[in-house]
């Protein structure tokens, strides 16, 4: 009898609980990564050859401080020690509510990298003149702290000037194209 009423009204049957959960998760927009700190000077000072996403081993007070956006990557760099990569010079400010259990702001932090990526990255990092520089620190969609580490080559002063000229010319071209629309 129920089926005949629905057929008469031309309505589809109500979805089950599993179907509604699936439909709501599909239609909901995925959360995006939240950037905590970015090393803008790195793109000016260095030529970026390759980048790699790394996990970071943090203490509880460091995570709280990162969520407040208290991180500086300006003087930070990556260092390879044995089979591990460490983030050196990254300043994560102390979390005021942690009191006794606070962390040391400029301690070395171990980075988590897959073995194959580590071997590929470190082999190139040992070449003359290449440096490991953190580009940004962020929380991914799942809320896990990540660091984007880049393999960089230092720029000379004339290289920086050439890059600035190219960027200015590109900006002028984009402005002109917007005006002509």
Q: What pLDDT score was predicted for residue 20?
A: 44
Residues 31-179, CATH architecture = Beta Barrel (2.40)
Contacts of 21 (CB under 8 A, 6+ apart): none
pLDDT score of 30 = 57
**33-49 burial: b if 16+ Cβ within 10 Å, else e:** eeebbbbeebeeebeee
pLDDT value, residue 25: 47
Q: What is the mean pLDDT of residues 77-89?
A: 90
pLDDT band at 171 (very low <50, low <70, confident <90, very high): very high
pLDDT above 50 (res 161)? yes
User: What does the DSSP 8-state code read for residue 90?
Assistant: -
**What single DSSP character describes residue 10?**
T
Residue 93 tokens, joined: 């400010």
Which among 36, 106, 116, 111 has a CA at the least distance from the CA of 78? 111
pLDDT of 29-46, one tens digit each?
556 778 899 998 888 888
Give 19's pLDDT tier (boundaries 50, 70, 90).
Answer: very low
Is this structure's pTM higher than 0.75? no
Q: What is the pLDDT of residues 93-130, one digit of tens each?
A: 888 888 887 888 888 999 999 998 888 888 787 777 78
């Amino acid at each position: 009898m129920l089926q005949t009423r629905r057929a008469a009204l031309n309505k589809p049957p109500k979805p089950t609980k599993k179907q509604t959960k699936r439909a709501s998760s599909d239609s909901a927009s995925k959360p995006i990564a939240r950037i905590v700190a970015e090393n803008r000077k790195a793109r000016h000072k260095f030529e970026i050859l390759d980048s790699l996403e790394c996990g970071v081993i943090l203490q509880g007070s460091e995570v709280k401080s990162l969520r407040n956006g208290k991180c500086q990557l300006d003087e930070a760099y990556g260092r390879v020690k044995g089979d591990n990569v460490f983030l050196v010079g990254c300043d994560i400010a102390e979390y005021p509510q942690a009191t006794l259990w606070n962390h040391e702001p400029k301690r070395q932090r171990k980075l988590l990298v897959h073995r194959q990526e580590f071997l590929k990255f470190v082999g190139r990092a040992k070449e003359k003149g290449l440096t490991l520089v953190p580009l940004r620190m962020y929380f991914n969609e799942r809320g896990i702290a990540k660091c984007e580490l880049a393999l960089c080559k230092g720029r000379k002063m004339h290289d920086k000037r050439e890059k600035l000229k190219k960027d200015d010319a590109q900006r002028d071209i984009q402005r002109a194209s917007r005006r002509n629309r």
